[in-house]
Each structure stands twice: as C-alpha cells, then as structure tokens.
Amino acid sequence: MADKQCDALVIGAGPGGYVSAIRLGQLKQKTILVEKAWIGGTCLHVGCIPSKALITAAKFHEKLKHASDFGINVQGVSIDFPKMVHWERDIIEKFTGGIKQLLKGNSVETVMGVARFISPNEVEVTNGNSTITIAAKNIVIATGSVPSGIPPFPFDGERIISSTEALVLPEIPKRLLVIGGGYIGLEMGIMYAHLGSKVTVVEMMDQLLPGFDAELVRTLARSLRQKGIECHVNAKAKTFSGTVGNLNVTVEVEGSDRIFETDRVLVTVGRKPNTAGLDIEKAGLKTDARGFVPVNNKCQTSVSGIYAIGDVVGNPMLAHKASKEGEIVAEIIAGHNRVVDYLAMPAVIFTDPEIATVGLSESEAKEKGYNAGIGKFPFGASARALTQGATDGYMKVIFDRDSKQVLGFHIIGPDASDLIGEATLAIEMGSTVEDISLTVHPHPTLTETVMEAAKAALGEAIHIVNR
Ligand code: FAD
C-alpha cells in the first residue's frame, strides 16, 4: 500500500504542472504536486520571468541613453548589476510565494522531491534520505525541458554558459559571444548589448530566428545592426580556448574559419525534453526519437490514466502552451470532454523591437489553399508609436480574401507582446478583418494599428495611402 493516495498526481511544478494542479483542485480532485527544485519551474526561476525582468531593466538603461531626444538631460547613469540581479531574484521569490498560496488555497498538497515511476499508477518520491510512494488514479507528467548543449562547447557555468547562468552572472561581460540565433539567444544578446556588452551572435542556419517570417527577421536584423550587435549566419562554432575574460572561439563563417575574442560564450541552441531519472519505461511509456513523450490531442499518453503536458511533449516550448495543456488535462481528468487546439497559439519574442505572431503566415495560408491576402500598417504611421519614439516595425494581418476571415497576425514593433492578445482573440473567435475594422479602438493607442492593418486588408486604411 502506497504512503499517499490521490485522484491526480502532477510531476513538475512549472507553468504546465502548477496550473494543472490548481485547476484539478478547483475541480475537486484530490491532487498532489511533486517538484524536485522550483515551484514555478523553468519559467519562473530561470526562464520567462527573470529574463523579462532583466530585459526590462536593460531596455530602461538603453532608453536613458536616448533621453535627450525627449528633452531630458540625464547624466551620471551607471549600472549596479548585482543589485539588478537581486531585484530580479526578488520578483521570483514574490511570485513563488503567490503560487504556493494558490496551491494551498485550492487544496493541492505539494511534495518536494524527485519523482520516478515504479509502476503505471505509482511513483516514488525521494528527498534527501527520505522516500515515499504515491499511488494515483491519474498521473500528469510535466517535467519540462533543459538547455541543449553542443559537444565542442560543454557547459561549465563559467566560460561556456547556458541561459540559466546568463541570468545571474556576477558582472556584465565586456564581450559576449552567443552561439545560436534563436529567440533565447537574441533576447539575451540584446539585453546584454543594452547593458553595454559588445555582443556577437553566430547562427548555423541561413537566417536568425530560423523558421520565422523572413520579412520580420530582416526588420529585426536592421535593428540589431543599429545596436552594434554583430550577427553571422551560416556560421558554425567549432572550438574554443582560454579562460573567462580571454576566450578565443573558432567559428566557420560562410566556409572560412574566423577567431572571435570574447569574455564568455552563451550557448542557446535549443532545449531538450526532460525525462531523465523519471523511469517512464516502468510506467510502460517510451519517448520518441527526440526524447519527447508522445501524446494525442487530449495529452493522453499510450498508457491509460497517464498524461503529459508542456515542454516534455514537444514544440512550441512556451509557458502559455504548457498552462493551456495543463488546464485541459485537469478538465479531462475531472470528466469533461476537451481537446487541445493550437490554432490560436501566440508566440512572442522579447527582442527590441518585440516580435509576436499567431496563426498562419502568408505562405502557410497559401499552402493550405486559402486565397490569402495581407493588410499591413507601419508603426511609423501610428501617432502613439511616434509619441513613444518607437516607430520601427509593422503590424501585418493575413486573411482569406474570399471569406475575409483572419488567419494570422505577424507583428514587429513596440508592445507587440501585448498587441498579440487582440489578434489571438480574433483568430480564436473566427473573426473577419471587417469585424476588427468596424471595432472602435481607443486613440491614441498602439491598438489602433490592429484596426488599421485590418482596414488596410480591405483597402480602407485611414492613416496610410491604400494600394
Ligand atoms: P518547466 O517549466 O521546465 O517545469 C518543469 C518542472 O519539473 C521543473 O520545475 C523541474 O524541476 C520539475 N521536474 C523535472 N523532473 C522532475 C522529477 N523527476 N521529479 C519532480 N520534479 C521534476 N516561454 C514563454 O512562453 N515566454 C517566454 O518569454 C519565455 N522565455 C523563456 C526564457 C528562457 C531563458 C527560457 C529558458 C525559457 C523561456 N520560455 C518562455 C519557455 C518556458 O520557460 C517553458 O516553455 C515553460 O517553462 C515550460 O513549462 P513546463 O511546465 O512544461 O516545464
């Protein structure tokens, strides 16, 4: 007989697991949440939240450099980096406390320790010298992901760092070489450039942000150049030598070797699913060739009563995707008929300017057989963007010319991360560009650009000449 029993056992307290546990609690399921390290997971401790805290502080510093554009003279600006990191860690502590309260308030029992399967419905949890067993009618695997490395650049936490160490460095590196021009590498590269580092990004593929709309990437690349960030595509990092502050990295750029001197190397080549030590085979489960736990559109694994959610089941590796899957699984366990629908799944990159997308790109829409058209509105024509001194970028809607249905939104520009909310709702609701165009948007706000892009799709934009 197991030491504890419950209706639902959730393994991993990231945004997938803790949200699922809260929803299970709301649905009156006796729930236990097991976590080995961090309540809040990667997202809260070494991901979304600390990175966005530092990105915000760094952007503030960058803005101060341009304060005179607004008629404000600022002198003697300096950075107390340890204090900035302390502020970042303080936010994490506050939010962790909030989640703990929410778990308690929804009658979820939290058990700290490392979980591993001993059978399809029983898990052993070890914390130091103590071990307990928990039997559950349903088990949700929400063990997330960990940074991937590349063999010639093994992480040592000093010379070769991952995003985890980049969030708590003791000092701002004078020079930083970023291997991997995906979203984490670019967010962190821009952040350190805003703090004064000389940043170089090397990306093996032929464009930064591989897989993203080429027009968005071109606009971002221009802004990176203006910030003095050196970017190389078709560039394969091969070896390194030296110590912190004095590293030489050999990179094959467009076929020829080049040496880059740097203080530290940040490797951001992706993340891999985390099932290490979970003994999932004892539950009768197997991962796929890339290490993900295969699931159907109800997040059910091949074993009845075992579900998996979040980064451990596959892309997109995003916190809100993990949370949505967590809620759906909780409702399925409670007897509701639910499936996960990824149609309106936004993705945001907190670069400068920000990028946000949802739904289909123009080429995807054409491939799917839509008579796809676009409506585009530049932030340079937005009064609110002008008042913020942030006019780079555009708002683009992709729509079906026949039905006028909104199929996607691609944004690069100020507050894209917030503007994508309305775009996501439009897709979720099956809205047409006419619906958005007819909706009164407050003036002067950046939300008017959503409306103007929809109007542009109809040839009716007011603040640009329609073509
Ligand atoms: P995780 O958050 O990884 O949580 C898994 C939890 O399981 C961890 O707490 C781990 O300790 C625990 N665990 C693992 N194994 C066991 C075990 N055997 N027993 C007990 N516990 C276990 N996403 C966004 O949407 N927006 C962003 O802006 C964003 N920024 C990011 C920035 C960075 C630098 C990084 C690294 C990631 C970022 N992400 C962002 C991605 C986001 O953090 C992940 O998609 C999200 O955390 C996945 O949630 P999850 O619940 O699946 O897993």
- Which is catalytic among the residues 86, 320, 336, 443? 443
From CA 42, how far away is CA 171, in angstroms rounded? 22
Residue 152 falls inside a structural domain: no
Residue ranges around ligand 1 (CB below 6 Å): 11-17, 34-38, 41-43, 46-48, 51, 114-115, 142-145, 163, 184, 274, 277-278, 310-312, 317-320, 322, 350
> Looking at 246, 269, 292, which one is the last position of a domain?
269
Residue 241 falls inside a structural domain: yes
Name the band, by pLDDT with cuts 50, 70 and 90, for residue 2. Answer: very high
Measuring CA to CA, which residue among 15, 29, 16 is closest to residue 96? 15
- The share of the chain scoring above pLDDT 90, in percent, equals 98
From CA 192, how far away is CA 200, in angstroms rounded? 11
- Does residue 264 sit in the same domain as residue 181? yes
- Does residue 223 sit in the same domain as residue 302? no
- Does residue 207 sit in the same domain as residue 316? no
Measuring CA to CA, which residue among 110, 101, 3, 95 is closest to residue 49? 95
- What single-letter amino acid sits at 162? S
Residue 130 falls inside a structural domain: yes
CATH of the domain at 441: 3.30.390.30
Residue 355: which domain range?
Answer: 347-457
Write down the pTM of the prediction: 0.97
- Does residue 8 sit in the same domain as residue 140? yes
- The share of the chain scoring above pLDDT 70, in percent, equals 100
- Does residue 215 sit in the same domain as residue 228? yes
Q: Reduced to 3 states, what is the DSSP secondary structure of residue 68? A: helix
Report which secondary-structure segment, H or E, holds 109: strand 109-112
- Does residue 51 sit in the same domain as residue 69? yes
> How is residue 150 written in tokens?
């590349």
Q: Do 251 and 237 contact (CB within 8 A), yes or no?
A: yes
Residue 452 falls inside a structural domain: yes
Q: Look at residue 236 and tell me whether its pLDDT is greater than 90.
A: yes
> How is residue 136 written in tokens?
């559950």
Convert the pLDDT of each residue in 170-195 to its tens digit.
999 999 999 999 999 999 999 999 99
C-alpha 318 – ligand 1 centre gap (Å): 8
CATH of the domain at 294: 3.50.50.60
> Looking at 269, 290, 321, which one is the last position of a domain?
269
Residue 338 falls inside a structural domain: no
Q: Look at residue 467 and tell me whether its pLDDT is greater than 90.
A: no
Name the band, by pLDDT with cuts 50, 70 and 90, for residue 28. Answer: very high
> Average pLDDT, stretch 292-313?
98
- What single-letter amino acid sits at 373? G
Whether 443 is a known active-site residue: answer yes
User: Residue 186 has what pLDDT?
Assistant: 98
Residue 259 falls inside a structural domain: yes
| Locus of tokens 């993203």 | 212
- Does residue 280 sit in the same domain as residue 143? yes
Q: Look at residue 211 and tell me whether its pLDDT is greater than 90.
A: no
Mean per-residue pLDDT of the chain: 97
Convert the pLDDT of each residue in 121-172 to its tens digit.
999 999 999 999 999 999 999 999 999 999 999 999 999 999 999 999 999 9
- Does residue 15 sit in the same domain as residue 89? yes
Residue located nearest, by CA, to atom 27 of ligand 1 = 48
From CA 406, how far away is CA 22, in angstroms rounded? 33
From CA 302, how far away is CA 120, in angstroms rounded? 11
User: Residue 261 has what pLDDT?
Assistant: 98
> How is residue 73 written in tokens?
């003279």
Name the band, by pLDDT with cuts 50, 70 and 90, for residue 288. Answer: very high
C-alpha 401 – ligand 1 centre gap (Å): 39
> Looking at 247, 269, 291, which one is the last position of a domain?
269
Q: Look at residue 433 and tell me whether its pLDDT is greater than 90.
A: yes
What is the domain count for the chain? 3
Name the band, by pLDDT with cuts 50, 70 and 90, for residue 264. Answer: very high
C-alpha 457 – ligand 1 centre gap (Å): 38
Contacts of 146 (CB under 8 A, 6+ apart): 271, 272, 274, 276
- Does residue 300 sit in the same domain as residue 441? no
Residue 340 falls inside a structural domain: no
Residue 62 falls inside a structural domain: yes
- Does residue 259 sit in the same domain as residue 279? no
- Does residue 265 sit in the same domain as residue 374? no
- Does residue 255 sit in the same domain as residue 352? no
